[in-house]
Structure 1
């Protein structure tokens, strides 16, 4: 599907990622969340987590898993964003969301999340979108709330000691479940 968002030049193309996309996807996700490159955007986790955000094996698992899609977003053939969509009964899980840091803050993320919601609502018939966010990321949680997501207060522990998810730079990190009613938002 092609979409031309306001304030953006060029056409956006959405497609499911394939195995050959894995290296570029890892680079995009890492650049959006970790290290100095992530500081060009506003979604950086560099102050709370060091190390990797993901790896080729983790991305490949998402690409290949049944009931899962890694939605890849290109502008004029260049990778600019991605997100994971996983079918979980009446809900879809939204994760691994990354927008190229230099493009953050210009509305691209809003277009991507809207397309992801439309896609799972129409393709899987789900009624809710779920995601987990590190609860101390107040600015990010507020961004999702402006998109119609609500905090549930349901917390799950951060996987301290599992460096596949990063090396925490502080204590007390937890994930909070955010949920959006996709049926109400369609009206």
Structure 2
């Protein structure tokens, strides 16, 4: 199988990105992969307005991974001074566990370090997602102990199915180019 090609997303990608992100995290389609949040959050993960807003932000790029014209995965990168923020990471559920996620993360780290000159990569993960946090730790990320509240009451990010959700910041120093 050939490696995916990477490119920045455009406004024309919004519908496909919304479908990909929601399928990776919610409902029955999300259960096909291991990154599902279906047991802790209902509703949507994102919507077209939010994705379009992300694409329009300065200092932000949404990278997409494609193979033969098919959207396989995506991630959002925001330049925040000396660090880059990694988010909206989604891999088509039927392809999870096949190395595409590792390739996307590596490309995001390369972009942050080589294109933007960032020294670190940061992200937030729902703190009870121990399997996902462990996956990032195997790739050099560490828990910072910095916790932030989950946006209860804002259904744009899902409908919480439990009362103990919060985010934890993970970080990793990036190699200097």
TM-score range, shorter chain: over 0.9
Q: 119, 135, 141: which is aligned to 2:133?
A: 141
Partner of 1:30: 22
1:10 matches 2:2: yes
Residues 45 and 157 of structure 2 are in contact (CA less than 8 Å); yes or no, is this contact kept in structure 1?
yes
User: How big is the shift at 1:172?
Assistant: 1.1
**TM-score, with length taken from structure 1:** 0.93
Partner of 1:162: 154
Partner of 1:6: none
Q: 44, 55, 66: which is aligned to 1:52?
A: 44
Number of aligned positions between the proteins: 177
Question: What per-residue deviation string (whole Å, max 9, x for no partner) do you get for residues 11-57 of structure 1?
Answer: 41100000010000000000000000000000000000000100111
Partner of 2:89: 97
Residues 4 and 100 of structure 2 are in contact (CA less than 8 Å); yes or no, is this contact kept in structure 1?
no
Partner of 1:85: 77
Gaps of 5+ in 1: 1-8
Residues 10 and 76 of structure 1 are in contact (CA less than 8 Å); yes or no, is this contact kept in structure 2?
no
Partner of 1:112: 104
Rounded Cα–Cα distance in structure 2 between residues aligned with 1:115 and 1:18: 18
Q: Which runs of 4+ in 1 moved over 2 A?
A: none
Residues 41 and 101 of structure 1 are in contact (CA less than 8 Å); yes or no, is this contact kept in structure 2?
yes
Gaps of 5+ in 2: none
Question: What per-residue deviation string (whole Å, max 9, x for no partner) do you get for residues 51-110 of structure 1?
Answer: 010011111111111100000110111000000000000000000000000000011111
Cα RMSD (Å): 1.0
1:176 matches 2:168: yes
**TM-score, with length taken from structure 2:** 0.98
